[in-house]
């Protein structure tokens, strides 16, 4: 999604109030933005705490401030700066984390971002954008840029099947339809299930939903999804995020609050930072049973019955 | 408007009164920077300027200077530290136009000030950004990051004041994590450094009036608890509230000085 992100910001950079700060990252990706923005492109160096506070003050001065780094360096290292300087003042700083989830794969646990939106959404005024496909990024940049509030963008890599017609961006999208129970997936992970679900017969195919904006209090599930949950009495949630603070917890609370009467709830989530070995994003997803085969191994016996 | 000794006495007494009535501490570090804040708010700051109190625990001194210069009323001061107040123990996030940022966690203010200074530069606007730090907060890594940024960008519209009272939360700055001599340590950054007596109004005025082609840093040699004999240079007055007898003595000393 980096190319789409760069292209989107280059288009946005005609706004004189826009300023972009990077924590010394973007080589072989953000050069066009650097060229387009001139002095408003600031390499703030390897100093993320300062970078976030500087961005907060710039937003306070009316500038359209964007902050970019590898995802964990964007939200974990400078968390207090995000909390105190950005969120407490409801300043519209856009925090852009590249490689959300296990995006940095075998680079190791320091580069994984599997608690990002859960941690950030504990803060007042914060919004998280979790694009599903590379094509979403233009719209997401626009929506985050106009949110008028602190925003986090989790960039990853969309993995739709070859030849797949990516649907127009929406905060909630139904990606597959069938008689099976609904499955809610977050961010780019959702795109990895399309083919496997499409290959199932209609009477067992889950209704796959992708959510791309959080918190759910600002982006509640659409009526159709709620109807599917009520009808099937089942819900599965898959997210490349630890269980605590994830969308699974939020949906479970919402189900209790709203009396959805779910008989079966399956939550697939990132198994935190305690692997003995490392590997690619696909390897790590499989370790957490987030890959399509593992997910279906759990869900398949119940899909027809649920439908 | 040039302030007089009478203005300073009045401010010092009001600061003591509000802390006494609210039964709260942090008095020592408020008194050490009150002189500089009084000069700033009465004589220096224009509507184009910005001020960031990085040592947020000196909120009482900030509120007092805002009150003394007519920016907030006495009724507001009477709510200091009370339920439903805007005047919390550290500066609030909103509600007072002259306070831009909620500070209190040390090591944030200098980055915020540097960001404001860079923003003014990018916008092509004049005005200076002033930032008051403690001396202990130079132990924060984020302050170092901010100094690197301010120095690299040669933020000539940024003026940093250090309240160098040499006492921090649980010891002297030299005992806890020495950076002495602070001025020499910071001189390695390409900045315009001055070391002054932070209670000499003339020296404060001169330092604040000077201009440079790079970021300026003013190390103010100060005394914690300035103006009250039993508080001066005593670490415990980082925390202690005033008892009735102590308050009476403190006011008497300020009057007599």
Of the candidates B157, B136, B160, which has an alpha carbon nearest to the alpha carbon of residue B146?
A: B160
- Residue A84's contacts (CB-CB under 8 Å, 6 or more residues apart) are B102, B103, B105, B108
Q: Verify whether the Cβ–Cβ distance A63 to B113 is below 8 Å.
A: no
> According to the model, what pLDDT value does residue B190 have?
87
User: What is the C-alpha separation between B105 and A107, in angstroms, rounded?
Assistant: 33
Looking at 3.30.460.10, 2.30.30.280, 3.40.50.970, 3.40.605.10, the CATH number of the domain B5-94+103-256 comes to: 3.40.50.970
> According to the model, what pLDDT value does residue B211 have?
92
Q: Do A249 and A168 contact (CB within 8 A), yes or no?
A: no
Q: Verify whether the Cβ–Cβ distance B100 to A60 is below 8 Å.
A: yes
Q: Tell me the per-residue pLDDT of A151-205, one tens digit each, with 9 for 90 and over.
A: 999 999 999 999 999 999 999 999 999 999 999 999 999 999 999 999 999 999 9
Of the candidates B87, B128, B143, B134, which has an alpha carbon nearest to the alpha carbon of residue B211?
A: B128
> According to the model, what pLDDT value does residue A147 have?
96
Exposed / middle / buried, residue A202 (Cβ in 10 Å: 0-12, 13-18, 19+): exposed
* CATH number for the domain whose boundaries are A172-299: 3.40.50.920
Closest approach of A29 to chain B, Cα-based (Å): 24
Q: Do A90 and A124 contact (CB within 8 A), yes or no?
A: yes
> According to the model, what pLDDT value does residue B170 have?
87
C-alpha B189 chain-centroid distance:
22
Q: Verify whether the Cβ–Cβ distance A57 to B116 is below 8 Å.
A: yes
Residues 99-128 of B with CB under 8 A from A: 100-103, 105, 107-108, 111-116, 118-120, 122-123
Q: Do domains A2-154 and A172-299 have the same CATH topology?
A: yes
CB of B142 within 8 Å of any CB in chain A?
A: yes
Q: Shortest CB distance from B112 goes to which of A42, A57, A80?
A: A57
> According to the model, what pLDDT value does residue A275 have?
74
User: What is the C-alpha separation between A287 and A279, in angstroms, rounded?
Assistant: 10
Of the candidates B190, B104, B180, B181, which has an alpha carbon nearest to the alpha carbon of residue B147?
A: B190
> According to the model, what pLDDT value does residue A305 have?
46
Where do the domains of chain A lie? 2-154, 172-299
> According to the model, what pLDDT value does residue A236 have?
97
The pTM is what?
Answer: 0.96
Q: Tell me the per-residue pLDDT of B102-115, one tens digit each, with 9 for 90 and over.
A: 999 999 999 999 99
Q: Measured between alpha carbons, how far is residue A217 from residues A119, A186, A203, A210 in Å?
A: 16, 15, 32, 16
Q: Verify whether the Cβ–Cβ distance A47 to B120 is below 8 Å.
A: no
Q: Is the ipTM of this structure higher than 0.90?
A: yes
C-alpha B22 chain-centroid distance:
20
**Two structure tokens written together for B231:** 């508080």
What secondary structure does DSSP assign to A8-30, as a single string? Answer: HHHHHTTSTTEEEEESS--TTTS
Q: Shortest CB distance from B148 goes to which of A45, A62, A81?
A: A45
Tokens 């370790």 belong to residue: A287
User: What is the C-alpha separation between A118 and B217, in angstroms, rounded?
Assistant: 40
Where do the domains of chain B lie? 5-94+103-256
Q: Do B246 and B25 contact (CB within 8 A), yes or no?
A: no
Q: Do B38 and B118 contact (CB within 8 A), yes or no?
A: no
> According to the model, what pLDDT value does residue A307 have?
42
Q: Verify whether the Cβ–Cβ distance A49 to B111 is below 8 Å.
A: yes
Exposed / middle / buried, residue B60 (Cβ in 10 Å: 0-12, 13-18, 19+): buried
User: What is the C-alpha separation between B8 and B236, in angstroms, rounded?
Assistant: 24
- Listed as ranges, residues in chain B with pLDDT below 50 are none
**Two structure tokens written together for A169:** 């961006």
**What are the φ/ψ torsions at residue A69 (nearest 5 degrees)?**
-165, 180
- Overall CATH class of domain A2-154: alpha beta
- Listed as ranges, residues in chain A with pLDDT below 50 are 305-307
């Amino acid at each position: 999604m980096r190319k789409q992100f760069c292209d989107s910001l280059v288009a946005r950079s005609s706004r004189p109030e826009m300023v972009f700060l990077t924590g010394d990252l973007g080589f072989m990706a953000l050069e066009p933005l650097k060229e387009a923005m001139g002095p408003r492109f600031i390499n703030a160096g390897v100093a993320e705490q300062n970078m976030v506070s500087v961005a907060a003050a710039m937003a306070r001065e009316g500038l359209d401030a964007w902050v970019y780094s590898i995802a964990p360096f964007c939200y974990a290292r400078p968390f207090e700066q995000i909390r105190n300087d950005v969120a407490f003042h409801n300043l519209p700083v856009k925090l852009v984390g590249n490689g959300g989830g296990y995006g940095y794969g075998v680079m190791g646990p320091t580069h994984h971002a599997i608690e990002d939106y859960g941690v950030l959404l504990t803060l007042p005024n914060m919004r998280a954008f979790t694009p599903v496909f590379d094509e979403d990024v233009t719209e997401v940049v626009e929506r985050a840029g106009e949110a008028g509030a602190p925003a986090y963008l989790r960039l990853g890599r969309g993995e739709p099947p070859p030849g797949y017609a990516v649907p127009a961006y929406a905060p909630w999208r139904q990606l597959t339809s069938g008689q099976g129970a609904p499955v809610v997936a977050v961010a780019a992970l959702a795109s990895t299930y399309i083919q496997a679900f499409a290959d199932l017969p209609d009477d067992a195919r889950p209704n796959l939903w992708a959510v791309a904006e959080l918190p759910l209090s600002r982006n509640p599930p659409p009526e159709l999804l709620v109807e599917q949950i009520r009808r099937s009495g089942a819900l599965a949630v898959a997210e490349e995020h630890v269980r605590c603070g994830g969308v699974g917890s939020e949906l479970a609370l919402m189900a209790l609050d709203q009396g959805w009467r779910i008989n079966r709830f399956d939550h697939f989530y990132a198994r935190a930072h305690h692997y003995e070995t490392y590997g690619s994003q696909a390897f790590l997803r499989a370790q957490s049973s987030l890959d399509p085969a593992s997910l279906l191994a759990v869900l398949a016996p119940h899909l027809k019955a649920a439908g | 408007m040039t302030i007089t000794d009478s203005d300073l006495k009045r401010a010092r007494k009001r600061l003591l009164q509000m802390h006494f009535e609210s039964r709260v501490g942090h008095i020592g570090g408020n008194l050490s920077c009150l002189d500089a804040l009084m000069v700033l708010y009465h004589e220096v700051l224009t509507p184009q300027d910005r001020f960031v109190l990085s040592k947020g625990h000196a909120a009482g001194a900030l509120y007092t200077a805002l009150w003394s210069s007519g920016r907030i009323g006495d009724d507001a001061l009477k709510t200091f530290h009370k339920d439903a107040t805007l005047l919390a123990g550290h500066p609030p996030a909103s509600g007072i136009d002259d306070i831009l940022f909620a500070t209190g966690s040390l090591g944030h203010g200098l980055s915020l000030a540097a960001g404001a200074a860079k923003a003014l530069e990018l916008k092509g606007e004049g005005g200076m950004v002033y930032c008051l730090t403690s001396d202990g907060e130079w132990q924060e890594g984020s302050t170092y990051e901010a100094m690197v940024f301010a120095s690299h960008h040669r933020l000539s519209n940024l003026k940093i004041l250090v309240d160098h009272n040499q006492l921090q939360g649980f010891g002297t700055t030299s005992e806890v994590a020495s950076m002495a001599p602070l001025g020499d340590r910071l001189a390695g950054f390409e900045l315009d450094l001055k070391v002054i007596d932070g209670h000499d109004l003339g020296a404060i005025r001169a330092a604040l009036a000077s201009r440079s082609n790079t970021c300026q840093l003013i190390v103010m040699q100060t005394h914690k608890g300035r103006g009250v004999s039993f508080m001066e240079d005593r670490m415990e007055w980082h925390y202690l509230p005033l008892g009735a007898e102590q308050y009476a003595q403190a006011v008497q000393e300020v009057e007599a000085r």
